[in-house]
Amino acid sequence: MASGLFVPVCATLPGHPKFKRLCKELDVDSVTGVGTLVLLWAWVVQYFHDGYLHNVTASEINDVCGWDIGNTEPGVLVEKLILCGFIEEIDGCFYVHSWDKYAGRLQRSRAKTKKRMRNMRERARNVTVTYANVHARAETKEKEKEKEKVDKEKEKEKEKKSKSSCSETQKRDSKLDEKNSGKPPLCKNSKLDPVIFTVGTNGKIKLWDFRESKLREYESLYPGMDVKHQVHKALQWIRDNPGNRKTAKGMPSFLTRWLGKANDSGRAPPKEANNETLGDRVLEGFEHRNPTQEDLDCALGGDDDDG
């Protein structure tokens, strides 16, 4: 008999009229009667779940129930079971009376138990799979964090290298300027970078200063030209033509174009060997100083009068 199978026996069976009649017909006591029915029902539960004894003979039922009392005929037991209402004969097939009502509940309970156990096993597998998935996702997140950390470190290294490269480039440019000019570079807007010329400009900034550092830049570009003299000419041309006055932002590009044209035309006077420029001779006797507010007002007023 399969593990877990059982036969439900009602507590009222020994006193039931059908059972008493069966014991009387078979001429047996109640203990033998109960044993006979239990053996029959246990066999049906195990092999005939629907209660229909397909292809089963009366002799086989006799053997299952252990019925050999008095060496009676094989068909006597089945005949008495049918007579007392424990077995029915339907279309030549024996059927246990009300099997679905009593044992059917057992079958349905067994089916529910199987389903419940199957669901429990499925949930257990899902939990295992879910745990594996969570573990895998956690590992993936850790790898992503590590990769992000490495990428950030690489970015920092690149920034450091870039800053170092920029610093080295600036140092090279400074050294190159120093080499070309023969003097250390001056700091703009400091006392070491004096104003050479001042000219009125358009826009929010009304004055623009041409300083010593800018002169050195141009002298490094045009070493054979009297740069100061050419700048002086350019600024004088602006003063004489106020309609062509530039903005403070546009003055460097204007002077660059002016000097480039002067250099390309070949008409610019060369710089003398003793480094004394024509501009220096022209300005000889004039004092180099930063303009005062009175000078600036005079310069701006002169431009307006010219206009």
Asked, for residue 172, whether it belongs to a domain, the answer is no
> Does position 264 have pLDDT exceeding 50, yes or no?
yes
pLDDT of amino acid 253: 93
- 216: number of CA atoms within 13 Å, CB side? 21
Average pLDDT over residues 170-192: 54
What six digits make up the tokens of 149?
């950390």
**What pLDDT score was predicted for residue 257?**
93
Rounded to two decimals, what is the model's pTM?
0.35
Residues 120-136 pLDDT 10s: 888 887 766 666 677 77
Burial (CB count within 10 angstroms: exposed 0-12, middle 13-18, buried 19+), residue 12:
exposed
pLDDT above 80 (res 293): no
pLDDT of 68-120, one tens digit each? 655 567 678 888 888 888 888 888 888 888 787 776 666 677 778 888 888 88
**Confidence check: pLDDT of 303 > 60:** no
Helix (H, G, I), strand (E, B) or coil at 194: coil
160 assigned to some structural domain: no
Q: Give percent of the chain above pLDDT 70.
A: 71
Residue 211: its pLDDT value, please? 93
How far, in Å, CA of 278 to CA of 292, rounded?
26
Distance, in Å, from the CA atom of 303 to the CA atom of 201, rounded to the nearest integer, reads 10
Indicate if the alpha-carbon torsion angle 139, 142, 146, 148 is positive or negative. Answer: positive
- Among the candidates 71, 97, 123, a domain finishes at 97
Q: HSE of 306 in the Cβ direction (CA atoms, 13 Å)?
A: 17
Question: What pLDDT was estimated at residue 70?
Answer: 56
The pLDDT of residue 304 is above 50: no
Assigned domain for 79 exists: yes
Report how far residue 171's alpha carbon sits from residue 169's, in angstroms, rounded to the nearest whole number. 5
Residue 121 lies in a domain: no
Does residue 189 belong to any structural domain of this protein?
Answer: no
Q: Among residues 35, 69, 97, which one ends one of the domains?
A: 97
54-63, 170-179, 256-265, 280-289, range with the lowest pLDDT: 280-289
The number of domains in the chain is: 2
pLDDT confidence bin for 217, thresholds 50/70/90: very high
Radius of gyration of the chain (CA): 60
Which of 93 and 49 is assigned the larger pLDDT?
A: 93
Choosing from 48, 73, 97, the residue where a domain stops is: 97
Can you read off the two tokens belonging to residue 263? 């250099």
Q: 170 vs 42, which has greater pLDDT?
A: 42
- At 218-230, the pLDDT tens digits run 999 888 889 999 9
- pLDDT confidence of 258, banded at 50, 70, 90? very high
Residue 300 has pLDDT above 70, yes or no: no
Q: Give the residue numbers spanning the domain of 34.
A: 13-97
Q: Specify the pLDDT at position 180.
A: 47
Burial class for 3, CB neighbours closer than 10 Å (0-12, 13-18, 19+): exposed
- The DSSP bridge partners found for residue 88 are 95
109/116 Cα distance (integer angstroms): 10
Calculate the average pLDDT of the chain: 77
Q: Is residue 26 part of a domain?
A: yes
CA-based max dimension of the chain: 162
| 144 belongs to a structural domain | no
Q: Is residue 149 part of a domain?
A: no
